[in-house]
Amino acid sequence: MYKPGRVFISIDMEGISGIVNWVEVDRNNSEYAFARKLMVGDLNAAVEGALEAGVKEIVVSDAHGGMRNMRPEDVHEAAYLVRGSPKPNGMMEGIDDSFDAALYVGYHSMKGTVNGILCHTISGSAVDGVSINGRETGEFGLNSALAGFYGVPSVFLAGDYAATKEAEAFVPGVTTAAVKWAVGRYSAKCLHPNESGKLITAKVKEALSKPFPEPRCVEEPVEVKLRFTSSTMCDIVSLIPSFKRVDGRTMRGEYVDYQTAINALRAGIYLGGAAERR
Ligand SMILES: [Zn+2]
């Protein structure tokens, strides 16, 4: 049987077991301490599953906020941890064509999802929506396409139920683990963290022990549409030469390949987000 040697894990926070509110994922809030502990618990459960599947090397990218959420000493010793921000490829920093598979832990659904816990797309304050080649795309869709650009299949996602459904729509055949079921944007029925850990370990092992889905590739050239939450953001992002304004709150650009497209998208979001901070 094929054994994957190197895997990449991108770990966000909103889709971690038990987390339901922004204050819990905000490092300036006192409730953050317990949430970061839950986060590393889900990560280490995934690492265990990868080791059980025979993986030799694991690289983890901390993908939430300032990307310094997990204390290095709490992370499973088998994993390398990429932390800090800004990073060239953000949530996916470290991905390249040397990996056999990409996995996603703590993921949430795109902005506007019904019963999607803490749903948003990259920036809750700046971004109303992103479309790639005409398809509304959230963080899993964006990040799995970057893995696919490097020929890496996306094989597993853990997060809330809505995030697992979104992942299955973008990558048919992806293995998922739902750790909570939202009943609104800020409330959910949650598995006990110990139980979600067991589920994540078992599902990661399963995902890495069966045939992988095809790498998710988007057609090139790549059209990016970036819909902001305010027109001020477009006023500023209009300064980036590759972006053209479509309407009051929407920018459009077309790029030769996906890495270039995601770079432009992230630059637009950084700049747009800064436009309202005065
Ligand atoms: Zn996040």
- Do 5 and 100 meet the contact criterion of CB atoms below 8 Å apart? yes
Beta-carbon neighbours within 5 Å of ion ligand 1? 12-14, 64
Residues of the chain with pLDDT under 70: 1-2, 278
Separation of 144 CA from ligand 1 center, angstroms? 16
Separation of 84 CA from ligand 1 center, angstroms? 14
Separation of 63 CA from ligand 1 center, angstroms? 7
CATH number at residue 147: 3.40.50.10780
The tokens of 121 are what? 């797309």
30 and 145 in a common domain = yes
Separation of 119 CA from ligand 1 center, angstroms? 9
Separation of 242 CA from ligand 1 center, angstroms? 27
271 and 158 in a common domain = no
Q: Report the run of H or E that residue 101 belongs to, with start and end.
A: strand 101-107
User: Distance of CA 163 to CAs 113, 115, 166, Å?
Assistant: 9, 10, 5
Does some domain include residue 265?
Answer: yes
The alpha-helical segments, DSSP class H, found in 150-192 are: 161-170
User: Distance of CA 143 to CAs 29, 35, 112, 122, 244, Å?
Assistant: 28, 23, 19, 11, 24
- Catalytic (active site) residue 108: no
Could you count the other beta carbons within 10 Å of the beta carbon of residue 70? Answer: 23
Does some domain include residue 131?
Answer: no
- Do 236 and 243 meet the contact criterion of CB atoms below 8 Å apart? no
Q: Say if residue 221 is preceded by a cis peptide, omega within 30 of 0.
A: yes
Reported as a single tens digit per residue, the pLDDT across 31-75 is 999 999 999 999 999 999 999 999 999 999 999 999 999 999 999
241 and 187 in a common domain = no
Q: Can you give the pLDDT at residue 2?
A: 66
At 257, phi and psi to the nearest 5?
Answer: -145, 170
Does some domain include residue 183?
Answer: yes
Separation of 3 CA from ligand 1 center, angstroms? 31
68 and 202 in a common domain = yes
The Cα 178–Cα 190 span in angstroms is: 9
The Cα 8–Cα 19 span in angstroms is: 23
Does some domain include residue 128?
Answer: no
The alpha-helical segments, DSSP class H, found in the chain are: 32-52, 139-149, 161-170, 193-209, 231-237, 258-275
227 and 205 in a common domain = no
The Cα 103–Cα 113 span in angstroms is: 22
- Do 138 and 122 meet the contact criterion of CB atoms below 8 Å apart? no
60 and 89 in a common domain = yes
182 and 50 in a common domain = yes
Q: What angle do CA 249, 250, 251 make, to 5 degrees?
A: 130
Among residues 163, 181, 209, which one ends one of the domains?
209
Separation of 2 CA from ligand 1 center, angstroms? 33
The pTM assigned to this predicted structure is 0.97
Segments forming the whole domain that contains residue 154: 6-120+139-209
Separation of 218 CA from ligand 1 center, angstroms? 24
Reported as a single tens digit per residue, the pLDDT across 105-130 is 999 999 999 999 999 999 999 999 99
Q: Can you give the pLDDT at residue 134?
A: 98
232 and 180 in a common domain = no
Does some domain include residue 216?
Answer: no
Greatest extent of the chain over all pairs of C-alpha atoms, in Å: 57
86 and 36 in a common domain = yes
Q: How many domains does the chain have?
A: 2
Does some domain include residue 127?
Answer: no
Catalytic residue among 64, 76, 108, 120: 120
Alpha-carbon dihedral 138, 267, 29, 17, rounded to 10 degrees = 30
266 and 193 in a common domain = no
Among residues 209, 234, 249, which one ends one of the domains?
209
Does some domain include residue 130?
Answer: no
Q: Can you give the pLDDT at residue 278?
A: 62
